[in-house]
Amino acid sequence: MDGSLEIGRVFGIPVRLHFTFLLVIPLFAWIIGSQIGLTVDLIEGLFGIPIDRTIITQEYIPYILGALVALSLFFCVFVHELAHSLIARAKGIKINSITLIIFGGVASMEETLPDPKVELPMALAGPLTSLGLGILSFILVYVVDAVVISAPVAGVLVYGFGYLALLNVLLFGFNLLPAFPMDGGRVLRAWLAKRMPLHQATRIASDIGRGFAILFGIVGLLSFNFLLIIIAFFIYVGAGQESSMVTTNFLLQDVSVGEIMSTDLRVVEPTMPLHEVIRLMYSTKHLGFPVVDRGELIGIIALADIHRTGEIDREAMQVRDVMSRQPVTTLPPTASVTEALKIMAMQNIGRIPVVEDGQLIGIVTRTDILTVLELKEMN
């Protein structure tokens, strides 16, 4: 994720901090510190334990406690995401990283078609971990009250563990809401996928998730809750993106590059003038061509390459002056279309030459893939 800094590895998984994490800690510290009286009353009422406020209410102590509670909560969020990741890795899914961001944590995993048998325990692992941490904090509240002799110190510890118990239980409940792509939404998707095709289950879960996102957004606007608005935005966007990704991978999972590639190849030589390439693009309606020199693929020239040159300079330039050179990304005809689409997205390219036994035999474009996808969706 852009704007993230790796701070270490846990069980071999890179752990990163997003810059928004550094913004939210002071915000949480201020919110918790400014409401210290209300939250002390709340925790006293929930646990039935009187809290000594001698230390808690002194000068800047409420804001220091707010920062400590916020950091402890994000540690609990990290453990929540780590539980997801360890279950996923045990099921054979590659974990790229865990990133702490403004509204919690994100475990980045290998893009594969979800298996309901894997997704269900993986989705439940996080919320159940949060519930476990909440129960542990709940127990520690009473342990501290019984063991710590100093009432002011006990008051600080009871407040801290009580607050964490409350937050983790709320985190457990919130994550189990069927708001895809949150954990509860993934549980819903796994349940639906046992009864219908995966892409249909994903579409239903995604629609429900976007409905929750709209609700969160409205509540956030009415209550001036900036964090809830951000969560609503990420749920809405995330639900749409994952639904699109799963639908694409599901419909194209059995399609190979060789089945959809264009074999009526137009290739250009490195010495061809650019104005002739532009004329060829007009006549063929193709926006890119493989560059071949004495039978060997040496590059690709696309409209984007030509756009990077000045209009006057083009008259004196040849293909070799602007083409994208070796190493050219190629694929064998047996490669999956989903792999081709992933490479196009990562490298921001619109076409990939297809090579077999060192010979150029075709080319697959983003347009080819989208056309096949559209036809598959109609069936």
Catalytic annotation, residues = 81
Cα-flanking dihedrals φ and ψ of residue 216, to 5°? -60, -40
Q: Which two tokens stand for residue 375?
A: 């036809």
Nearest CA among 172, 105, 169 for reference residue 137: 169
Distance between CA atoms of residues 4 and 108, nearest Å: 13
Q: Which residue carries 């990704």 as its tokens?
A: 245
Report CA-CA distances (Å) from 257 to 135, 290, 335, 368, 369: 52, 17, 6, 10, 9
Contact 352, 330 (CB under 8 A): yes
Q: Which two tokens stand for residue 165?
A: 């118990």
Q: How crowded is residue 332: how many other Cβ atoms within 10 Å of its Cβ?
A: 13
Q: Which two tokens stand for residue 370?
A: 């989208």
Contact 65, 51 (CB under 8 A): no
